[in-house]
Structure 1
Amino acid sequence: MDYLNQQWNDILSPLNNGSSSNNTSSNELFMNKGKNIVNDFDIEDEEAIPLYNRGSSNVNNNENDFEVNENNDFELEHAKYDDFSTIDWLRDIMSEKTGKKRKINKNSLNQYIISIIDASQSWIIVFFVGILSGIVAAFVAISAQWLTDIKLGYCPSNWYLNRRFCCLKVEDKVNHSCARWVNWSQAIFNNPDYGFFNWLIYVFFAGLFAFISSYLVVHVGPYSAMSGVAEIKTILGGFIIKQFLGTKTLIVKCISLPLALGSGLILGKEGSMVHIACCIGNIFTKYLSRFKKNEAKKREIYSAACAAGISVAFGAPIGGVLFSLEEMSSYFPVKTMWRSFFCSMVAVFFFQFMNPFRGKTVLFQATYDRDWHFFEVLSFLIIGVFGGVFGSLFIRLNIRAQAYRRSTFLKYIRIIEATIVAFITAAFSYFIIYMRMDESELLEILFKECEEGDHYGICQHSKKICILLLITMVGKAFFTVLTYGVSVPGGVFIPSMTVGACFGRVLGIIMQYFQQNYPSFPLFSSCHPDKVCITPGMYALLGAMASLGGVTRMTISIVVIMFELTGTLNYIVPCMISLMTAKFVGDAFGKGGIDHMIIRLRNYPYLDQKEEYYIGKQAKDIMVVKDDLITIKSTDATIGYLKKILNETEYQGYPIIDDEEYVTGYITRSDLKTGLERNLLVNDNSICKFGDIKITANSSNNTNSNQDTQIEFRNIDFRPYFDATPICVDENVTAEFVLDLFKKLGSRCILVVRHDKLRGIITKKDILKNIEALDSKYFDSIIGIHRRNQEASGDKNYTIKDALRIFKIFKN
């Protein structure tokens, strides 16, 4: 892995030599690209005193020595995290608390004002994240609808309007005809009946939009592909993917997402809106000091952005907060909940202000005024079983398709693949009205009550309508499995809801048919003879929620989203019944939703905070033993030795021990690299100290020249770069105890000791390897084709290197 140069500001090198006399001598400070070379300096010059020694005059000037008082404070110097590395939650949180304490101790009016401004930064960021998320969501909704309709025709009077706005208040509600809207055969040949030409134009535009969208993703913003929810969950869990939330990714996703939706590919925008909102939040954190260098604080903003993304997608601000809590966030304190709520509120407010659906927050909003009956519980259970079975089947097929796509020639023709899939989808969908519709528009029709009027024959309750709905259900399910994973933006929330809504509507029609034709049957005794007893639209809503729950394994947030969509409390219990049934049935086939399985497929180091695992081992059984580690001696490690282990090994950290193997600290690879870069001109034989030290400088050995300047010190202070209090456990503690430490403390690694002597080390990767072994049989059965291809090629170790390889394929 290439290493990034670390930039450090306002830090003086701890390599100093004192004055040999009490008289003031001339000072000479050489600065070279952030690395300081300090020669003789006057001890009274505060700028020349190391940071940890400022404010103290306890300096020994006898000969060329100075003592660092053990009670003096110094500021820890941590490097930025490397790409594809794990953050240390504990370190970042404590760094934030230390910064606050340092500011509190400075009593002044200016410092008080600065502290208020500093505390308000989080609220300022989530406010602007909410504003931009609402505006971007409105842009995506309007542009995607226009691109969807432009495949069928255009509005001659106002070409920039989609069909809904062009035909507003003038459309024939019965025949769904509109004189203002012109199809392409009429526009070109002045004859609207050239069906083949209309089909040809429809397919052509679908392929064109998909081609442009995929081209942008593959060649400009590779991290814009798919929904991005799996990667965001991993990032919120403490993983670093630096460009995933960058400006280029945001711009590409905002442009390519409407194109992908407009092409007719069976995808949704909801998961992608979460990615877009997080990109917006990440851009703001780059310009505020409180978040710029603190990855844990950044993730508080990301959690709020996730809530805003779902809020504008479903028009459900409270459901968005619960989604962030239930599905996304690993660290969700109360203050983050308030900021998420505020961010969601602002996002929905500005989305409604833009008013893309003319009075509705989302297109498929629905209201129901009838109550449900106890005999319908059986139907709710059937819907739940369908949702669980569909979710499990979809996850299995889609993950296998993604694994196959990444291990065969398809990974080299991603643009062609996306274009072909769009061509096939459009060619098939054109002939079925429900397949041709935008998913949100179809959900709007399926959720409606028939008292509001017939919508594309949905209220005819004939065998033909049921067959069309079942064909649509199968077609949507098939193309969703095929499409989710191609190199275009988009998610599976709305497509999975559409599949479940079709099933629910058919079941509701069947139930209503039996109730109306056999009203005296004892099962229907609670129905009033003169009133409508069963609402098929509500069955469609329950089916949509059950399928979404089966695919994602969410529960509480979906119930709340349903409540905010319908505005009624009557159907919360039926929705809970269907959702819990879907989750139980889905978990019976295998735990984990679609995003969890994508994380497993790509081997991201994500530790699910909500799951409980029984590993049945001790720490010594899962650790990497000391003999397989590279350790650093705290007393006699030289600069040359540190350079050697950095160049010859790829370990992400190194335990520090004394001569008797007692643990004295731990230093990460990036921090070690930073320490060496700041002492670049020091002789390789210089000793690096990781404890209480006495630094001695011999100015007679210093040489100054334009090239190859070297300064020799017998001792180099590395205290600012390493962790002197790493988390340690006894080798006999259970693996479950270690797992809880990783969950609750968010540490990058844990040292294993016996009587304070180092025995080994456990990283998050070691824990995940043992967790994955618990259900490896199930997961291997899902990606069997991909696994067999790996074994055939000799690649049997599917580790984090494979995840890095996948991203390199993405970029190239």
Structure 2
Amino acid sequence: MKKADDVELLIDVGSSEEEDDDSLHRAKLKVKTKDDPNKELQEQQIEDEDDDEDDALAIKPIGVEPTSSGSQQVGQEQQDPESNSNIIPENNSQRSANNLEANEGRINGIQNQPTFYIRSRTATVNTAALKDDVYESLDYDVCDNVLFKEEQKRTDNARFNIRKDILRWIIFIQIGVVTALIACVIDIPIEELSAVKYTFLKNSVDNNVAANINPGGNLVIPYLYWMGLSIVPVVLGAALVTYVEPITAGSGMPQVKSYLNGIKIPRIVRIKTLAVKAVGVVTAVVGGLVGGKEGPMAHAGAVVAAGISQGKSTTFVKDFRVFRAFRDDHEKRDFVLGGAAAGVAAAFGSPIGGMLFSLEEAASFWNQNLIWRTLVASIISSFTLNIVLSAYHGLNNFTFTGLFNLGKFEQPLTFEYFELPIFMLFGVTGGLLGAMWNSYNTHINRFRSRFIKFKFARILEAALVAVIGVTLACVMIFFINDCRPLGNDPTDYPVQLFCEDNEYNAVAALWFQTPEATVRSLFHDPPGSHKILTLTVFTLVYYFLACLTFGLNVSLGIFIPTGLVGAAWGRLVAMIIFYIFPEATFLSPGKYALIGAAANLGGVLRMTISLSVILMETTGVETSFFFPLIVTLISAKWVGDYFTEGIYDIQIKMSCVPLLPWELLPKYKGLKASQLMSSPVICIKKCDSAKYIYKVLRRCKHNGFPVVEDVQGNNRENGRVCGIVLRSQLIVILLNSFYEEKKHFWEKEVSIQTFRNVYPRYPSIDSVRLPNEKENYTVNLEIFMNPSPVRVSQCDSASKIFKKFRALGLRHMIVIDRENRVVGIITRKDFLYK
């Protein structure tokens, strides 16, 4: 007998890739061995054995789908054999798995056929489908089985429903409080460490560089100090992200958005993720990288919500035995949405903006009650942060709004009707600059993914970017002479440098403070605080650094640098117009800095309503100024959408996450279910043997199996659909030995709580041991399966199917014929990679 890896099965399709997708191809199967590579067996037919119990697991070519005429149609996908064994991919097809062993029974008279590794030459057509196999879908559809209905009957009373509703409100309030406290834990170290850093650098510059005496001669020492104070924290944060928890890289918003869309992102809501995220944000901001702490707060809030709502910690293996009724994906999703909103509210001091941000950018499913609870979590988070930070800063009243404190405009912001075209032009400019930024950043990140693969290289890259930032800042400070009187001091760390006495260097003032403080300065500095040359060079340098930084292996958000670049060029445009038209008294630099920030944010993030509210709440502008903001943001979004997608959507696509869009992709319109579905389907009988179920779970990685009845012999594919059962349920059944022959032992003990206790880290099939004496036991799935799965006819349109799939948050959709027999199955990946 040959070893399994001595045999290779090739699929040779005798047609060109240019042929119509509906054309039928005949697959030629060639079997080569290492002993005799010239020996080929063409047109080998691998058939099922009807008299063998494993007939549904017989070898079938991956990607070859039977058609109604009996011919074979070659698909575009196959399982990634390199996927982690702990991650169960939800393959786009319900075809046989990649490494299925040959039937243990007889195939063409040959005993113990070797394993066939199946490879298709069309597999390269769909590399994205292979990459996204590491992602599973979440079970947002409630499993309405017998156990669930029994629980509903036991708890079908007003007292239980009121208690459960009160618990929901309590959880959302706790989410708001804890998220705010974590925001304080992040903000206070950043503020204190940044103060120490910039005070030291200011003193170093003042002590080593004397005005008009050997200018630049001793600037090297402060430069080296600055570089060291940047490299050390950046390397520390990058090392934590790279070696401890890579999922914490970036802002976290793409991951949260994917999770709320129904994708299970590995390790996204673990306690270790939260800890590394918090420390990583502190080190990156203190290190001076171009980024902010506001974006990661949404991720932090999501982790807090996921942890509190489950009443247990899988990291510390501790079950507090509370909130058990909320241990499923459907309930957990709602709490995570509230946590993301609370995080944004804490970051900006904007409860309404936080709620709108989560709904506009992150949420895929919501209802009226969820909106109310999310708003309460946002209000509690913002209020708690206000109390703690106001007490920390020694304020007599609660005036500390949020982490991103832009300050209040002293004078009301007004506008004239003739300024509306100017606001629209700002929006168009922001859309163009945002589209360019997204495009450049995408190319840089693709370069990173191709060439910067080693972990140590990623840490060196972060350190290199920190060095580049410090070097460019020093070059600006050295070559641009922009001195201002100390009476107009906009910074806490005024540096004299080459200026006269009682003057400070305005260029150094832009760099010797946190990015939030720089945005605040651009909003509120009096006219004449900067030269046109200063803001021009600063805008270009910061635009470049932001594009270079976003995508590093560090925990940083994109909101602050994007808003800062927009505020800089917005104020710059106002200064240029005022220089040309001195009589234009309506030109307020602060007002146009705010409009520029909105335009740039809209061009990069592509959000409108939530950004308008956030900017209004963080700056305290009147509601009458909402119209200029929304006009600017809509213009920026429309122009930007013409060229590229928003940065979060781009990052999701680069990660090959199968995110369901709001609308069906145009190329799928006009298709039917029979053209979308994957087949043949591995089915399980309502009363099936433990041996068969065990082998199915061992040999394939699918996460859902149609349950059939009225099966003729062992040909399960011809049975009538009576339900669907999940892989996680089958593993729990086998682990607990819920066999029909032993029903009197477990019948009274089993409940829906049995499955919730192991949520969310369901055991793998590797933890199941099936002794020989239990192989012939029967598993009755009647009380475990979902008896009402969503089914569609093979003639239903793709548009109709997509609406159902999107609205119900489905994971699987069974395609049936007129006799209620399974003909195929549809998953979310069939809408993306077919």
Same fold (TM over 0.5): yes
Are 2:175 and 1:129 equivalent residues in the alignment? yes
Find the residue that maps to 1:153 and give its secondary structure: helix
- Cα drift, residue 270 of structure 1: 1.3
| 2:683 equivalent in structure 1 | 631
Change (3 A) 1:254 1:655: same
| 1:615 equivalent in structure 2 | 668
| 1:665 equivalent in structure 2 | 723
Residue correspondence of structure 1 range 96-175 to structure 2 within 5 A: 98=149, 101-105=152-156, 112=159, 115-154=161-200
Structure 2 counterpart of 1:588, from 635, 642, 647: 642
Identity %: 27
Change (3 A) 1:3 1:260: closer
Change (3 A) 1:259 1:616: same
Structure 2 counterpart of 1:727, from 786, 790, 801: 790
- Cα drift, residue 234 of structure 1: 0.8
Rounded Cα–Cα distance in structure 2 between residues aligned with 1:414 and 1:536 = 40
Change (3 A) 1:265 1:379: same
Rounded Cα–Cα distance in structure 1 between residues aligned with 2:559 and 2:325 = 31
| 2:528 equivalent in structure 1 | 459
Rounded Cα–Cα distance in structure 1 between residues aligned with 2:427 and 2:248 = 33
- Cα drift, residue 746 of structure 1: 0.8
CA contact (8 A) 1:92 1:294 kept: no
Q: CA RMSD in A?
A: 3.2
Residue correspondence of structure 1 range 264-663 to structure 2 within 5 A: 264-287=288-311, 288-290=322-324, 293-353=327-387, 354-355=389-390, 359-361=399-401, 362-367=404-409, 368-412=411-455, 413-430=457-474, 431=477, 432-433=507-508, 434-448=510-524, 450=526, 459-460=528-529, 465-516=531-582, 519=583, 532-564=585-617, 565-590=619-644, 592-609=645-662, 615-627=668-680, 629-634=681-686, 637-657=688-708, 658-659=710-711, 660-663=718-721
Change (3 A) 1:460 1:152: closer
The residue type paired with residue 380 of structure 2 is V
CA contact (8 A) 2:175 2:301 kept: yes
| 1:52 equivalent in structure 2 | none
| 1:88 equivalent in structure 2 | 139
Rounded Cα–Cα distance in structure 2 between residues aligned with 1:289 and 1:133 = 19
The residue type paired with residue 222 of structure 2 is N
CA contact (8 A) 1:366 1:444 kept: no
CA contact (8 A) 2:689 2:777 kept: no
Task: Give the gaps of 5 or more residues in structure 2.
Answer: 1-83, 89-132, 312-321, 478-506, 712-717, 742-769
CA offsets, 1:202-244, max 9 Å, x none?
Answer: 1111000101111111222222211110000111112223521
Rounded Cα–Cα distance in structure 1 between residues aligned with 2:539 and 2:269 = 34
Rounded Cα–Cα distance in structure 2 between residues aligned with 1:121 and 1:407 = 48
- Cα drift, residue 274 of structure 1: 0.6
TM-score (norm 2): 0.69
- Cα drift, residue 682 of structure 1: 9.4
- Cα drift, residue 199 of structure 1: 1.4
Find the residue that maps to 2:705 and give its secondary structure: strand
Report how many residues are paired. Answer: 615
- Cα drift, residue 566 of structure 1: 2.7
The residue type paired with residue 626 of structure 2 is I
- Cα drift, residue 506 of structure 1: 1.0
| 1:206 equivalent in structure 2 | 230
Rounded Cα–Cα distance in structure 2 between residues aligned with 1:304 and 1:407 = 36
Rounded Cα–Cα distance in structure 1 between residues aligned with 2:720 and 2:771 = 38
- Cα drift, residue 411 of structure 1: 4.1
CA offsets, 1:455-513, max 9 Å, x none?
Answer: xxx6256xxx1221121111111111111111110111111111111111111112333
Structure 2 counterpart of 1:2, from 79, 85, 104: 85
Find the residue that maps to 1:673 and give its secondary structure: helix
Change (3 A) 1:545 1:290: farther
Change (3 A) 1:501 1:605: same
Change (3 A) 1:372 1:185: closer
Rounded Cα–Cα distance in structure 2 between residues aligned with 1:680 and 1:748 = 25
Find the residue that maps to 1:769 and give its secondary structure: coil
CA contact (8 A) 1:748 1:763 kept: yes
Change (3 A) 1:708 1:608: closer
CA offsets, 1:380-433, max 9 Å, x none?
Answer: 122101111121111112122222212223443111111111111122223342
Find the residue that maps to 2:832 and give its secondary structure: helix
- Cα drift, residue 709 of structure 1: 7.7
CA contact (8 A) 1:185 1:193 kept: no
Find the residue that maps to 2:339 and give its secondary structure: helix
The residue type paired with residue 374 of structure 1 is Y
Change (3 A) 1:187 1:680: farther
CA contact (8 A) 1:618 1:731 kept: no
CA contact (8 A) 1:652 1:669 kept: yes
CA contact (8 A) 1:625 1:761 kept: yes
- Cα drift, residue 514 of structure 1: 3.4
- Cα drift, residue 562 of structure 1: 2.1
CA contact (8 A) 1:624 1:760 kept: yes
Change (3 A) 1:568 1:97: farther
TM-score (norm 1): 0.70
Change (3 A) 1:674 1:619: farther
| 1:749 equivalent in structure 2 | 812
| 1:775 equivalent in structure 2 | none
CA contact (8 A) 2:145 2:783 kept: no
Find the residue that maps to 2:554 and give its secondary structure: coil
- Cα drift, residue 185 of structure 1: 7.2
Rounded Cα–Cα distance in structure 2 between residues aligned with 1:296 and 1:119 = 15
- Cα drift, residue 673 of structure 1: 2.4
Rounded Cα–Cα distance in structure 1 between residues aligned with 2:676 and 2:667 = 17
- Cα drift, residue 313 of structure 1: 1.4
Change (3 A) 1:710 1:493: same
Find the residue that maps to 1:489 and give its secondary structure: coil
CA contact (8 A) 1:147 1:259 kept: no
The residue type paired with residue 661 of structure 1 is G
CA contact (8 A) 2:177 2:380 kept: yes
CA contact (8 A) 1:682 1:713 kept: no
- Cα drift, residue 193 of structure 1: 9.1
CA contact (8 A) 1:228 1:272 kept: yes
The residue type paired with residue 472 of structure 1 is F
Change (3 A) 1:721 1:188: farther
CA offsets, 1:266-290, max 9 Å, x none?
Answer: 0111110111111111221231334
Change (3 A) 1:441 1:100: farther
The residue type paired with residue 760 of structure 1 is G
| 2:283 equivalent in structure 1 | 259
